[in-house]
Structure 1
Amino acid sequence: MNAWKPKHQRLVLVALALLALVGAGLLAAYALRNQASYFYLPEQMLSDPPAVGQAVRLGGMVEQGSLETAPDGVTLTFAVTGNEGSRVPVRFSGIAPDLFVEGSGVVAEGRLGPDGTFVADTLLAKHDENYVPRELQEMDEHQAAKMAEETTVGIE
């Protein structure tokens, strides 16, 4: 024979469900604590730098005249600038995105080195709202619309 009233049974089930949700949230937060990547602007990176080796993102503009390619052909050095004239040197080894040029926006994922240089693992180039892919630059509006329609047929 059940000694609890249905009202009390529901209350206990709701309490257990809430406890399980809180526990799952805490477990997820604990598991992801090292996966979080904080975003820094150049002025923030200089005024309050992250710990050396901590994974962060650095966002800003690629300084004009700062982009240099090392003799190995895959290592790039450049500076990321912010609004207040702040400047952070960056080193990246790999293939840069096609949109990555001086004067454009960039988000670099990586770590701050002991010498103050940001060592990027990944570069994400940003483009303005007027961006047109290279393949579509030579086409008129009608041809571009037709190509876009052909590439999306069957995707649902």
Structure 2
Amino acid sequence: MGLRWTCARLQDLSPLALYQALALRSQVFVLEQACVYLDPDGIDLQAWHLLGHDEASGELYANARLLPPLAKGPTHLLPEIGRVVSAPVARGTGAGRALMQQAIAQCERLWPGQAIAINAQAYLLDFYASQGFVQISPPYDEDGILHIDMQRPSDASMT
């Protein structure tokens, strides 16, 4: 399975790409995970949006938003990867791992030398740990799902 990656600011996405991203996020977060909240929360306006489209069908298989430091307020000092989602049809294909590798690479390009934060669903601890993230908080409830805060040291500090 090949994915075609796009990383762009909201205003630079095509209307179709924006629709696909919001529809996938709603399908998974609101319907599948039964988390009722306003997904387009204003932070999308500051974010970079990473989209992985299937090369053959053009369908959106993977999506994440990349937040600059301070996008979520004065206590969020690091760049953050959020709204990480794989389409149900893409699960088990490696799309999620490819998404995280792309997200990390884009964060390193956009904010070089900085650690990266993620607000992860706790059951995915091992997956994110395999991408270099370390748990920095105890589990807590967010929208009825256990989450943990994690950070990935910058590549500069890992050498």
> What's the TM-score, normalizing by structure 2?
0.24
**Larger Rg belongs to:** 1
> What's the TM-score, normalizing by structure 1?
0.25
